[in-house]
Amino acid sequence: MVSLPTELIAIQDQIIDHIHKSAPAPENLSKLIKWYETDGWDLVAPANGDMEQVALNLDYIAHYKFSDSELIESQESEIAVTDAIRVEYARDVLTNALNEYDGCDCPSVYFVEVTGIDRKTCVLGWLVEIHGQAGPVPEFCGTFVNEESFYQHLSAMNFILEKNIEEISDTKILELWQR
């Protein structure tokens, strides 16, 4: 089993203090993140995939797919574009993105919960895009009080977890639509 090197434990404790006690963030946080993204990656993304989730990047997908021109191009015949057709098309696009999840439109979501010497915890969160032959590219999202606050952060950035896809409202889709 991989374990955190002793020289990084102090940084981990400082980040926990930063989250819970509003202490300054450690200046050398990047050392801890780099370790998790290399030697400690098995703690973030276990090989069995138990913790993996996928998130839809709504802004990215909407930018490239939520437009009348894309919708019309996808049709076999001329249609009158209505909001109902826009929503139906957008939901199909989102479902297809999830089925193909890869790259920028549907990154994997990972986090690791770290525990300090005083037994307090915090969460370090990542989005991981697959870039073809370049492979997985982790993007550190930040430190959070808990898993739920990490997911709230993703939601605020317009990422929707796969399990919450049904919660995307028609209104939200139409707000993202490019006419």
* Angle value at C-alpha 14, between 8 and 17, nearest 5 degrees: 145
Which pTM was predicted? Answer: 0.88
Proportion of the chain above pLDDT 90, given as a percent: 72
pLDDT band at 168 (very low <50, low <70, confident <90, very high): very high
Question: pLDDT at position 48, please?
Answer: 58
Q: What's the whole-number average pLDDT of the chain? A: 91
Question: pLDDT at position 76, please?
Answer: 81
Residue 133 CA to residue 26 CA, distance in Å, equals: 34
Proportion of the chain above pLDDT 70, given as a percent: 96
Residue 104's φ and ψ, nearest 5 degrees, are -75, -30
